[in-house]
Amino acid sequence: MSNNSKPTRIIALFNQAGGVAKTTLTQNLGYHLAQRQHRVLLIDIDPQASLTKFMGLIPKELDKTVTDAIIEELPLPIHEGIHGMDLAPANRILSGAEMQLVNTPLRDFRLSEAIEPLLGEYDFILIDCPPSLGLLSYISLIAATHVLIPIETHLKAFEGTDELLQTLNAVKKANKKLKIAGFVPTRYAKSNAADVRALGAIQEQLYSWGKFFRPFLAPLPLSMLQKKERP
């Protein structure tokens, strides 16, 4: 059982752009929460299955994955005790699941329903979303209580920030409990003038949204994100 009385916090790590260190952040955030004696479940809902690989599993060898939970409505398959965390893994079959969901009744709530029996068993459930706003990301944001947004400190990230926030605004209309936990600047090099300018521009842009702004967390240097091995 959970080691405290607080409700389970379900955090979707999401950005429509790829290459922002989302999976690395998911794994390491989960690891450090586990080190603080929290019970942590990681859910890989990205067909690339990078989180599953980072956690030491071989996706193609898995008999059960998240796909079985959201399509067949089976219990989430959980691999326990990996670096102090539990994992619901994914593999490439998940890419086909997105197409199957299109005509599925009450599709928006398939992941929420899969997670519901686990509430109270975990302090934190971290969902590694795909780098796009397809149905898999959407059902993850519907299931979440919070969204944590890694954002690369490059010009292309600055150009996509408005679209990202508009997306979250639309999701919040369907999931009114969803809160923005924060923005995490990633791949940041303080010695690079372009990164410094991009960081300042993104901060200013986020502040301009006012009601959507939540803590802008300390930038994660590129050196911290280059290591792909497990903790």
Q: Which residues contact 52 (CB under 8 A, 6 or more apart)?
A: 44, 59, 62, 87, 89, 90, 91
> Residue 64 pLDDT > 60, yes or no?
yes
User: 178: domain CATH number?
Assistant: 3.40.50.300
Tallying the residues shown for the chain, one arrives at: 231
Higher pLDDT: 46 or 19? It is 46
| Assigned domain for 1 exists | no
Q: How far apart are CA 163 and CA 154, in angstroms?
A: 16
Can you tell me the distance from the alpha carbon of 179 to that of 176, in angstroms, rounded to the nearest whole number? 8
Q: What is the pLDDT at residue 1?
A: 41
Q: How far apart are CA 105 and CA 2, in angstroms?
A: 32
CB burial of residue 223 (10 Å; 0-12, 13-18, 19+)? exposed
Q: Is there a domain that residue 188 lies in?
A: yes
pLDDT bin (cut points 50, 70, 90) of residue 167 is confident
What domain range includes position 134? 9-225
* Model confidence pLDDT, tens digit, residues 30-49: 999 999 999 999 999 999 99
> Is residue 4 in some structural domain?
no
Asked if residue 177 belongs to a domain, the reply is yes
Output the CA torsion sign for 213, 216, 222, 227. Answer: negative
- Residue 118: is its pLDDT beyond 80? yes
Q: Which residues pair with 186 in a beta bridge?
A: 152
Read off the pLDDT of each residue in 111-131 and give the average, rounded to a whole number: 96
Asked, for residue 143, whether it belongs to a domain, the answer is yes
pTM of the model as a whole: 0.84
User: 116 lies in a domain?
Assistant: yes
Structural domain includes residue 40: yes
Within-domain flag for 98: yes
The reported pLDDT for the residue numbered 60 is 95
Overall number of domains in the chain: 1
